[in-house]
Each structure stands twice: as C-alpha cells, then as structure tokens.
Amino acid sequence: MLLRFIDWCKRHIILVTVLAVILVAAFGFVNIQILHMTSEPEFCHLCHPAKGFGALAEVDSWEHSAHGDAGVSCLDCHGRPGVVGYMKAKMGGLKDTYMQLTISKEEKLEILNNPPEDLVPAWHCMFCHSDEGNKEVREATAGPMKLVKMRMLDDVVNPEFRMRKGLPDIMTDTFVGGTYFDHELHMEGFDFVCRDCHFGVVHNPATKTDRMNFCLACHAENEDSAPQMSDCDTCHQAQFSMNEGTGAKGVEGDASLMFGADIGCEDCHTAVSSGIFRPTKESCVDCHDEDYIGIFEEWAGDTKAKIAELREMRVNVEAALNDADRTKRDTTELWQRYEKALYNLNFVEDDGTKGVHNNDYAISVLDSVKEDFKGVMATLDSQW
Ligand code: HEC
Ligand code: HEC
Ligand code: HEC
Ligand code: HEC
Ligand code: HEC
Ligand code: HEC
Ligand code: HEC
Ligand code: HEC
C-alpha cells in the first residue's frame, strides 16, 4: 500500500511537489495569522476588558494613551525585541490562558495589581527612547530581529525612528517634552527606573501636580544644588519660551502682552505655594473684567482645534514620506522640513496651555507647521 503510494508519487513528482509547497505555505500562513491575531489588543481585551485605568483596564487605558495613539502596541512593550523575544512573549500568552482557566478572579486581580518592577525593564523603554540603548540591544539580541513584519518594535532603528516620531534621545537631550530635565543625571545619580516618574505611562492616570511635587520634595532636601519651587523658568522651558515669544524653529514672535508688561509666572500662578499649580480661566478675572473668561475660551478653543487637525495631518505626511522612501526617492530635505514642523507642533502642545501663555505666537507657530506639512505634501505630489 505504502509502496504503491510512493511509486505513484514518483510518477507524479511535479504534481506532488506543487501540492507539498502549497500545503506547507498554507500551514505557515495559518500559523502566522494565529500569531498575528493573538497579538492584537482586541484579543487581549477578551481577558483584560475593564474601562478606565488600572488592573483589568489595560486595553482601554492603552487606547487613550500617547503610545496607543502612536500605534505602539501591547507586544511592543510586553515582548522583548527580536524573533526570540516575540516567541517568548507568545509563550507567556499561553501561560496567561492557562492561568485564566485555573486561578480565581481574586488571584488574577492580585497579580495585576502588583506588576513586578521589571515587567517592562528600563532598557526596553530605552530601545525606543535612546540611541545608545537601541544600538546596544540590537547588537546583543540573539537570533534575527524579525522574519516577517509582526509589530513596530523590531523595526526600530535610532536615531531615525525617534526623530520621525518627534522624540528626544532621553539620555543625551535635556529639553524633553517641554521640560528642562537631565535623565542621565537623575537615573544614574539615584538609581531610578522609568516608572518612578512616569507613573502615568500607559495604564495609570497621570497627574502633573503629583509629578512636580515628587521633584520638589527631593529638591527641597538638596537646597544648595537643585532648583527650588520659585525657579519656574529652570524646569518649564517651553512655557518660559512661549511667554517670551521664542523657542520655535524658524518662527519669530513677540512676548505676550502680559509677559511684556512684566507679569511674571507667579502673578498668574498665584496659588503655587499652597500646592495648586494650575490656574483656571477664572484667574483672568484677578486683573481683568468678566469678559476675559470668554477670551480665554476663544484662545483655548482655536488652539486645541488647530493642534488636533495638525496631529492628523502629521500621520499622513509621515506615511507619504515613507511611501516615497520605498520607491527610493531622495527625501532627505523633506524629512528635515517635516521634523522641524513636528518639533514646532510639539513645542506648542508641550506648553500645555493651548495658547493661553502667548496666543499670537502659538497661532503663528501652528500656521507655520501647517505650511510646512502642506509644502512637503505638495513637493511629493509635484516632483514625482
Ligand atoms: C485567556 C485570557 C487572557 C488573554 C487572552 C490575555 N491575558 Fe494577560 N493575563 C491573563 C491572566 C489570567 C493574567 C494573570 C496571571 C498571569 O500572570 O498569567 C494575565 C496577566 C498579564 C500580564 C501581567 C503579568 C505579570 O507577571 O504581572 C500582562 C503584561 C498581560 N497579561 C498582557 C497580556 C497581553 C499583552 C495580551 C494580548 C496579547 C493578554 N495579556 C491576553 C489572562 C489573559
Ligand atoms: C509603552 C509601553 C506599554 C504598552 C504599549 C503597553 N503596556 Fe502594559 N504595561 C507597561 C508597563 C510599564 C507596565 C507596568 C505597570 C506600571 O508601571 O504601571 C504595564 C503593565 C501591564 C499589565 C499588568 C497589570 C497592570 O495593570 O499594571 C498588563 C496586564 C498590561 N500591561 C497589559 C497591556 C496590554 C493588554 C496592552 C495593549 C493593549 C499594553 N499593556 C500596552 C507598559 C506598556
Ligand atoms: C516601540 C517603541 C517604544 C517603546 C518600547 C516605548 N515607547 Fe514611549 N513612546 C514611543 C512613541 C512612538 C511615543 C509617542 C510619540 C508621540 O507623541 O507621537 C512615545 C511616547 C512616550 C512618552 C511621552 C508621552 C507620554 O505618555 O507621556 C513617554 C514619557 C514615554 N514614551 C515613555 C516610555 C516608557 C517609560 C517606556 C517603557 C515602559 C516606553 N516609553 C516604551 C515609542 C516607544
Ligand atoms: C526622575 C524622574 C524621571 C525618570 C526616572 C525618568 N523620567 Fe522621563 N521624563 C521626566 C520628566 C520630568 C520629563 C519631562 C516631561 C514631563 O514633565 O512629563 C521626562 C520626559 C521623558 C520623555 C519625553 C516625553 C515627550 O513628551 O517628548 C520620554 C520619552 C521619557 N521621559 C522616557 C523615559 C524613560 C524611557 C525612562 C526610563 C529609562 C525615564 N523617562 C525615566 C522624568 C523622569
Ligand atoms: C531623589 C532626589 C531627586 C528627585 C526625585 C528629582 N531630583 Fe532633580 N536634582 C536632584 C539633585 C540632588 C540635583 C542637583 C544635582 C547637581 O547639580 O549635581 C538635581 C538637579 C536638577 C536640575 C538642575 C540640574 C541641571 O541639569 O542643571 C533640574 C532641572 C532637575 N533636577 C529637575 C528635576 C525634575 C523635573 C524632577 C522630577 C521629575 C527631579 N529633578 C526629581 C535631585 C532630585
Ligand atoms: C524642579 C522642576 C520644577 C520647578 C522648579 C517647577 N516645576 Fe512645575 N512642574 C514640573 C514638572 C516635572 C511637572 C509635570 C509636567 C508634566 O508632566 O508634563 C510640573 C507641572 C506643573 C504644572 C501643571 C500642573 C497640573 O496638574 O496640571 C504647573 C501649572 C506648573 N508645574 C507650574 C509651575 C510654576 C508656576 C512654577 C514656579 C512657581 C513651577 N511649576 C516650578 C517641574 C517643576
Ligand atoms: C497670564 C497668566 C499666566 C502667566 C503670566 C503664566 N501662566 Fe502658566 N498658565 C496660565 C494658565 C491660565 C494655565 C492653565 C491653562 C489651561 O488649563 O489651559 C497655565 C498653565 C501652565 C503650566 C501647565 C502646562 C501643562 O503642561 O499642563 C505650566 C507648567 C505653566 N503654566 C508655567 C508657567 C511659567 C513657567 C510661567 C512664567 C514663565 C507662566 N506659566 C506664566 C497662566 C499664566
Ligand atoms: C496679574 C494680572 C493679570 C492676569 C491674571 C491676567 N492678565 Fe491679561 N493683562 C494684564 C496686563 C498688565 C496686561 C497689559 C495691559 C496693557 O498693556 O494694555 C494684560 C493684557 C491682556 C490682553 C491684551 C490687552 C487687552 O486688554 O485686551 C489680553 C487679551 C489679556 N490680557 C487676556 C488675559 C487672559 C485671557 C487672562 C487669563 C488667562 C489674563 N489676561 C490674566 C494683567 C493680567
């Protein structure tokens, strides 16, 4: 029987080869599809389904985070780089499934509420957020980085990646997210890990007031060397520059009328010493009449809408540039223009006041960003 089958195969060798290739390809395809499907946030959602923040709400909190917006997915953080790292994460997924079936809801919550410190180790974050960290890990990763495209992580090569996303190199740049802050000094001096300060990253609610309090509590103990509460300008570089009408690349401006008239930070931020750092629109009435609340709302509304529009444009411009790169066009100058525009967009967003610190300047910076984005698109369309 078997011999007759082998005999038959020998006589139909081409047909058999073709069939074998199809079978193997189909099996591989199904496998990859399963790997893909079980890596999607929708899949994780089956067992991590809650809304809001914290345990069980990991998918929902991710959806509303900057990482979620930027397309950084679960396994970009919860699986280590490279094919081996990816496969290990998939094995962890099998353990999750086994645990789901065997442990109680209370035990599951207990685990989720106490994630180990190195669940996502600092070196992993630095793979995307520093150049040196990226290089070290790529050199040390055993096995290939990837076989097929599975996720964002394995394609990350710095500095290109972070520059195209408008991110600083956290270990060399000190102007980060609008704040003057030296990561290297603090990380090496005090043995911090990322989540000691970025407790709001992805799954937990961030309060900026908590973060500032954390900085100032330790600085108060280091009065001789570290900046104190009243040194607003030292840390809040973006806000200071915005008030002053400087800071964006290639856009000239004037100081805001108020800053120009010698209104300093603490004239508006009157309650800082009692721990309330953020003034509201009511604070305008300290010096102006009631109508100025309307001015505040108008400023904030305009700026917010413009930022949202430009955020969407940014994604399209980046995609168009990547498309152009695939067809081997020279895009060096266009990438530079895009990166400059993105820097300026981040500058206004990082000021965090939606134009209240200096509305005229914020608007002219945003207009220049729009011009740059449009210019890049127009050149891409016209030249090729
Ligand atoms: C079948 C249900 C199920 C699915 C699907 C699932 N998980 Fe889980 N997950 C669990 C359970 C149960 C635990 C707690 C027990 C444990 O640590 O395995 C858990 C724990 C975790 C932890 C914390 C582990 C630790 O050591 O603290 C992470 C991270 C995690 N899951 C990520 C994911 C990601 C990412 C996905 C989607 C790719 C996913 N899970 C899909 C059930 C699931
Ligand atoms: C930017 C990196 C990043 C991304 C993307 C990310 N996580 Fe996490 N995740 C973390 C960190 C860091 C922790 C450790 C907890 C902490 O520090 O708050 C964590 C903790 C967890 C935990 C442990 C329980 C908890 O609530 O702390 C689960 C489960 C989890 N993540 C699931 C997911 C799922 C599912 C996704 C995708 C929908 C996802 N994560 C996307 C970084 C990330
Ligand atoms: C796959 C690459 C990647 C990994 C891994 C990664 N990030 Fe990010 N990170 C990004 C991108 C992309 C952005 C968003 C840029 C933007 O605003 O569009 C970002 C934004 C941020 C921001 C600013 C936005 C915010 O949420 O405050 C912080 C802080 C940050 N990451 C910290 C971390 C930490 C801590 C980890 C490790 C737990 C981590 N990142 C892991 C790519 C990554
Ligand atoms: C001692 C506190 C501290 C530690 C520890 C720390 N950071 Fe930061 N990080 C900051 C501050 C302050 C900023 C400025 C922006 C802000 O205030 O949110 C910042 C900014 C950033 C930004 C830029 C955000 C943007 O919007 O562009 C990234 C990315 C980032 N940190 C990643 C990390 C990573 C990754 C680690 C761990 C390797 C880490 N940080 C450890 C305090 C810290
Ligand atoms: C555990 C203590 C500690 C914490 C927490 C801490 N710092 Fe510091 N920081 C210091 C000390 C000490 C110095 C002075 C170091 C020196 O000059 O050698 C310093 C210096 C600084 C400087 C001036 C140094 C320079 O580069 O010019 C800035 C700005 C700064 N810290 C910002 C921050 C911010 C923002 C946070 C909160 C995210 C923070 N620090 C959290 C201890 C701390
Ligand atoms: C040692 C550095 C440092 C100094 C000095 C400092 N801040 Fe901050 N402040 C921070 C950090 C870090 C944050 C968190 C920023 C973030 O996460 O984006 C913050 C947050 C804030 C916020 C946002 C609060 C919220 O919950 O929305 C305001 C407003 C603010 N600071 C005003 C001031 C003013 C006004 C001064 C001077 C009187 C000052 N800060 C001095 C580091 C500092
Ligand atoms: C004319 C009044 C005014 C002056 C002057 C002013 N601020 Fe503000 N600032 C505000 C208001 C109002 C908000 C809150 C805006 C909002 O919620 O949209 C704010 C918000 C902030 C924030 C929070 C930004 C964030 O990321 O959420 C910081 C930090 C800040 N100011 C720092 C400063 C510094 C530093 C100076 C001095 C160089 C300064 N401000 C001068 C009115 C002022
Ligand atoms: C500490 C007092 C003070 C606060 C608080 C303050 N301003 Fe002013 N504002 C001034 C001064 C002083 C001038 C300059 C007057 C001049 O030169 O005509 C000014 C000028 C202005 C102007 C331009 C001239 C005019 O009168 O139309 C606008 C608009 C304005 N402020 C809006 C606001 C808004 C909105 C807020 C709330 C975020 C605010 N101000 C909070 C003191 C303040």
Pocket test residue of 222, 274, 277, 283 for ligand 6, highest count of atoms within 8 A of CB:
277
Residue 349 has a pLDDT of 96
Name the strand (E) or helix (H) holding 176.
strand 175-176
What are 180-234's pLDDT values in tens digits? 999 999 998 888 889 889 987 889 887 899 899 999 999 999 999 999 999 999 9
- What are the beta bridge partners of residue 175? 180
Distance 226 CA to ligand 2 centre (A): 33
Q: Whose Cα sits closest to atom 34 in ligand 5?
A: 215
What is the percentage of the chain residues whose pLDDT exceeds 70? 93
What are 240-279's pLDDT values in tens digits? 999 999 999 999 999 999 999 999 999 999 999 999 999 9
Residue 295 has a pLDDT of 95
Q: In terms of domains, do 106 and 72 share one?
A: yes
Q: In terms of domains, do 28 and 112 share one?
A: no
- The dihedral over CA atoms of 117, 123, 127, 133, expressed in degrees to the nearest 10, equals 160
Q: Whose Cα sits closest to atom 33 in ligand 1?
A: 44
Q: In terms of domains, do 198 and 287 share one?
A: no
Give me the residue label for tokens 């591989």: 28
Over residues 310-338, the mean pLDDT reads: 94
- The answer to whether residue 247 is domain-embedded is yes
- The answer to whether residue 315 is domain-embedded is yes
- The answer to whether residue 368 is domain-embedded is yes
- The answer to whether residue 211 is domain-embedded is no
Q: Could you give phi then psi for residue 266, rounded to 5 degrees?
A: -80, -5
Tokens representing 94 are 């099998």
Question: Do residues 178 and 237 lie in contact, with contact meaning Cβ atoms separated by under 8 Å?
Answer: yes
Structure pTM? 0.92
Q: Whose Cα sits closest to atom 34 in ligand 8?
A: 284
Q: In terms of domains, do 83 and 176 share one?
A: yes
Residue 195 has a pLDDT of 86
Q: Whose Cα sits closest to atom 33 in ligand 3?
A: 125
Q: In terms of domains, do 197 and 247 share one?
A: no
Q: In terms of domains, do 16 and 80 share one?
A: no
Question: Do residues 303 and 359 lie in contact, with contact meaning Cβ atoms separated by under 8 Å?
Answer: yes
Q: In terms of domains, do 239 and 343 share one?
A: yes
Q: In terms of domains, do 310 and 346 share one?
A: yes
Domain containing 30 equals 2-37
Residue 25 has a pLDDT of 56
In this structure, the residues whose C-beta lies within 6 A of any atom of ligand 5 are: 179-182, 185-186, 190, 197, 211, 214-215, 218-219, 222, 225-227, 234-235
- The answer to whether residue 225 is domain-embedded is no
Q: Could you give phi then psi for residue 324, rounded to 5 degrees?
A: -65, -35
Amino acid letter at 13? I
Amino acid letter at 66? A
Regarding the beta carbon of 58 and ligand 2, being less than 6 Å apart is answered yes
Query: How does the average pLDDT of the chain come out, rounded?
Result: 91
Pocket test residue of 46, 51, 58 for ligand 2, highest count of atoms within 8 A of CB:
58
Domain edge (last residue) among 206, 225, 250: 206
Over residues 315-334, the mean pLDDT reads: 93
Q: Is the pLDDT of residue 126 over 70?
A: yes
CA-CA distances (angstroms) from residue 253 to 167, 243, 295? 24, 10, 20
Q: Is the pLDDT of residue 370 over 60?
A: yes
Q: Which of 28-32, 102-106, 276-280 has the lowest mean pLDDT?
A: 28-32
Question: Do residues 353 and 243 lie in contact, with contact meaning Cβ atoms separated by under 8 Å?
Answer: no
Q: Could you check whether the bond before residue 121 is cis, i.e. omega within 30 degrees of 0?
A: no
Q: Is the pLDDT of residue 36 over 60?
A: yes
Q: In terms of domains, do 7 and 76 share one?
A: no
What is the C-alpha separation between 373 and 339, in angstroms, rounded?
10
Q: In terms of domains, do 28 and 93 share one?
A: no
Of 276, 283, 272, nearest in space to 232 by CA:
272
Q: In terms of domains, do 299 and 373 share one?
A: yes
- The answer to whether residue 354 is domain-embedded is yes
Q: How many structural domains is the chain composed of?
A: 3
- The answer to whether residue 80 is domain-embedded is yes
- The answer to whether residue 219 is domain-embedded is no
Q: In terms of domains, do 83 and 179 share one?
A: yes
